[in-house]
């Protein structure tokens, strides 16, 4: 992974020194809250319902054990002994005190982490496929490109005050695990038949109050043009994007209101202007330097006997291995999803103890690599199959071996009104109740692959529009009310879910989800037809009928 050089360290130290002084000036009254607020937000410090929240960037979701241990230490020393992993592949600390934040940032800097550009109208943390560098279906590791984009966009003087925040996602695999079409810019790596490397560039996707799947602005962008082309898109948006209305300020609205063709013409014109002066040599040299740091670990083949033996003997291991492993490009290896979705727990939370254990296990069995997935789990991308039984046993002892990756209880849930100042309803308890309810019914494995995503307000941090089943919590006349969408999908076949109809009260939402899923079990052609496939075959009607069956009066 990327290692900081002296310039990176010096930059971070200087930024942290500045913020420490800003906090001191806030505390002694020289800065008002209005003056201080943008400064703390530039450093990822929010004020939420019950406390401050510090959002730490985890670039493209890649961590090493030292970094994860440092996050554990920070949680324990200055927070409440846990952290919350987010859909942006970041981690959030929910209870820091203002006076401690400068020390927390210094501690982060010791391991090359920071909270810069995790807020504000800037380019946010670049997210990537969490199986990058390991997946069997991958064309190439997208992370060197993601790191290049991170370096280019961090503190970029032209793009610190964009009309609105800006999110870029990148995948190196045709199977889109990075939800590229729901980002301001989505990048999909391509390799043409002649061997030329490039990107399909998607622009103007996003969820929130106006969900849109981004259209393709360039079918094939030669890889060496990436940075000048991104710069052209950002520059065009920076001039054209609306600043009169926060809700119309994202690039998706800019593209939509001006039309893709007009937007593309402006981008291409800007690109033609800046591309000739772009320093390609330096960029290529930097990319080569970065690439060397992302070289694959040496994956030696080991005996798989222990795996086969455990798979035959131990049904608990078998269930876990059948759901939480993903094919690795290297023979005899697997990608492991460490579920942060134990039934009844808060999706994405990990205690300091759990973080330390995962760091130890990554060192022992996983070549020291850890990933954060946008689905709020942790990933060990390179594990020899023969080591899986020992790994599983260690995870199980710490409550980290729930066999539910990609299943019903692997729910994305935003913090919702339990923490968030913007929320209109709770999300976490809904996720917990769905998970425990279906666990009691023992239906989860029978139902099979299913993505439920829950947002506690219209801003859609829980990605509900791209959930196979999406749940949106709203405030209806002072009471929590949950709307359901069906048929959303964040993969390469992306689609936005459709609203079923009237919403449900908090205590009605779990039975409502059960009615939909019982209908699916009745309607599916066989066990291989997933919920999403059945929905696409049958349409919404039979699911709506089941959902509102005998319930019209209550649900209205």
Partner 1 sequence: MSRKPQLQVVTANALISGHSVWLTASGGWSPRMGDARVFDDPQQAQAALAHATARSDIVVGAYLAPVRAGVAGPEPVHFREAFRRDGPSPAANAHPRS
CA dihedral (501, 503, 508, 514) in degrees, to 10, reads 40
What does residue 433 show for φ and ψ, rounded to 5 degrees? -70, -40
99-to-36, 54, 96, 120 alpha-carbon distances in Å:
14, 12, 8, 21
Q: For residues 471 and 198, what is the distance between their CA atoms, to the nearest angstrom?
A: 36
Please give the Cα distance from 43 to 29 (Å, whole number).
20
Question: Nearest distance from residue 349's CB to partner 1, in Å?
Answer: 7
Residue 462 DSSP code: T
Residue from 124, 371, 392, 426 in contact with partner 1 (CB under 8 A): 426
Beta strands in 277-366 (DSSP E): 325-327, 333-338, 349-351
For partner 1, the binding residues in 9-28 under the rule CB under 8 A are 26-27
Structure tokens at 113: 């982490």
Strand partners, 326: 335
Please tell me whether residue 80 binds partner 1 under the rule CB under 8 A. Answer: yes
**What token pair was written down for 193?**
């038949």
Instruction: Please name the residue that has the structure tokens 């591309």.
Output: 275
Report how far residue 93's alpha carbon sits from residue 193's, in angstroms, rounded to the nearest whole number. Answer: 46
Stretch 348-387: interaction string toward partner 1, x if CB under 8 A = -x-x------------------------------------
Pick the binder of partner 1 from 419, 482, 504, 548 (CB under 8 A): 419
Is 459 among the residues that bind partner 1 (CB under 8 A)? no
- Rule CB under 8 A: is residue 285 a binding residue for partner 1? no
Nearer to partner 1, 214 or 429 (CB): 429
Helix spans in 490-530 (H): 509-523
Q: Which is nearer to partner 1, 33 or 300 (CB)?
A: 33
Smallest gap, in angstroms, from Cβ of residue 428 to partner 1? 4
CA pair distance 443, 422, nearest whole angstrom: 34
When asked if residue 507 is in the footprint of partner 1 (CB under 8 A), the reply is no
Binding of partner 1 by 29 (CB under 8 A): yes
Pick the binder of partner 1 from 47, 66, 260, 319 (CB under 8 A). 47
Residue with tokens 């709203």: 474
* Residue 346 touching partner 1 (CB under 8 A): yes
Q: How far is the CB of 481 from partner 1 (least distance, A)?
A: 11
**Quick one: angle between helices 260-274 and 226-240, nearest 10?**
120
CB of 424 to partner 1, least distance (A): 8
CB of 111 to partner 1, least distance (A): 23
Among 170, 370, 428, 519, binds partner 1 (CB under 8 A): 428
Short-list 385, 393, 380, CA closest to 338: 380
CB count, 10 Å around CB of 115? 28
Give the nearer residue to partner 1 in terms of CB position, either 171 or 376. 376
Residues 466-485 that bind partner 1 (CB under 8 A): 475, 478-480
324 counts as binding partner 1 under rule CB under 8 A? no
99 makes contact with partner 1 (CB under 8 A): yes
The answer to whether 50 contacts partner 1 (rule: CB under 8 A) is yes
Using CB under 8 A, list all residues that contact partner 1: 26-27, 29, 32-33, 47-52, 80-82, 95-99, 344-346, 349, 351, 417-419, 426, 428-429, 432, 475, 478-480
């Amino acid at each position: 992974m990327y290692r900081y050089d002296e310039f990176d360290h010096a930059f971070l130290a200087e930024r942290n020194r500045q913020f420490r002084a800003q906090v001191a000036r806030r505390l002694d009254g020289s800065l008002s809250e209005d003056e201080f607020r943008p400064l703390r937000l530039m450093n990822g410090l929010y004020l939420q319902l019950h406390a401050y929240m510090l959002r730490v960037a985890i670039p493209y979701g890649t961590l090493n054990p030292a970094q994860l241990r440092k996050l554990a230490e920070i949680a324990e020393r200055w927070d409440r002994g846990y952290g919350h992993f987010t859909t942006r592949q970041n981690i959030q600390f929910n209870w820091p005190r203002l006076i401690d934040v400068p020390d927390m940032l210094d501690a982060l800097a010791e391991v090359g982490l920071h909270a810069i550009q995790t807020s504000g109208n800037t380019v946010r943390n670049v997210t990537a496929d969490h199986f990058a560098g390991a997946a069997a279906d991958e064309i190439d590791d997208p992370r060197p490109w993601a790191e290049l984009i991170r370096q280019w966009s961090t503190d970029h003087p032209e793009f610190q005050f964009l009309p609105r925040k800006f999110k870029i996602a990148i995948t190196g695999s045709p199977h889109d695990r990075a939800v590229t079409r729901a980002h301001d810019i989505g990048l999909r790596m391509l390799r043409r038949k002649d061997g030329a490397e490039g990107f399909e560039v998607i622009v103007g996707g996003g969820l929130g109050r106006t969900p849109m799947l981004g259209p393709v602005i360039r079918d094939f962008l030669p890889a060496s043009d990436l940075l000048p082309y991104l710069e052209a898109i950002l520059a065009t948006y920076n001039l054209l994007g609306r600043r009169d209305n926060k809700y119309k300020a994202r690039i998706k609205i800019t593209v939509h209101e001006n039309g893709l063709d007009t937007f593309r013409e402006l981008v291409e014109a800007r690109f033609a202007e800046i591309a000739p002066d772009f320093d390609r040599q330096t960029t290529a040299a930097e990319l080569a330097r970065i690439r060397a740091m992302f070289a694959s670990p040496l994956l030696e083949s080991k005996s798989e006997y222990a795996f086969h033996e455990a798979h035959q003997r131990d049904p608990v291991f078998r269930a876990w291995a059948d759901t939480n492993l993903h094919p690795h490009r290297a023979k005899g290896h697997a990608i492991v999803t460490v579920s942060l979705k134990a039934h009844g727990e808060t999706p994405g939370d990990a205690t300091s103890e759990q973080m330390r254990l995962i760091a130890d296990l990554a060192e022992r069995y996983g070549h020291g690599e850890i990933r954060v997935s946008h689905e709020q789990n942790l990933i060990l991308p390179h594990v020899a199959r023969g080591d899986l039984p020992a790994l599983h046993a260690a995870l199980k002892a710490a409550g980290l071996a729930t066999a539910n990756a990609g299943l019903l209880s692997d729910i994305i849930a935003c913090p919702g009104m339990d923490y968030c100042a913007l929320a209109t309803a709770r999300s976490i308890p809904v996720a917990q109740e769905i998970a425990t309810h279906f666990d009691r019914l023992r239906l989860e494995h029978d139902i099979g692959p299913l993505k439920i995503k829950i947002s506690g307000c219209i801003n859609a941090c829980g990605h509900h529009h791209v959930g196979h089943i999406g749940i949106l919590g709203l405030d209806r006349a002072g009471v929590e009310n949950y709307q359901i969408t069906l048929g959303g999908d964040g993969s390469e076949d992306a689609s936005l879910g459709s609203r079923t109809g009237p919403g449900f009260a908090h205590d009605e939402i779990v039975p409502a989800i059960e009615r939909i899923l019982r209908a699916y079990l009745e309607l599916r052609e066989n066990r291989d037809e997933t919920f999403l496939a059945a929905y696409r075959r049958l349409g919404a009607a039979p699911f709506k009928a089941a959902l509102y069956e005998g319930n019209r009066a209550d649900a209205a």
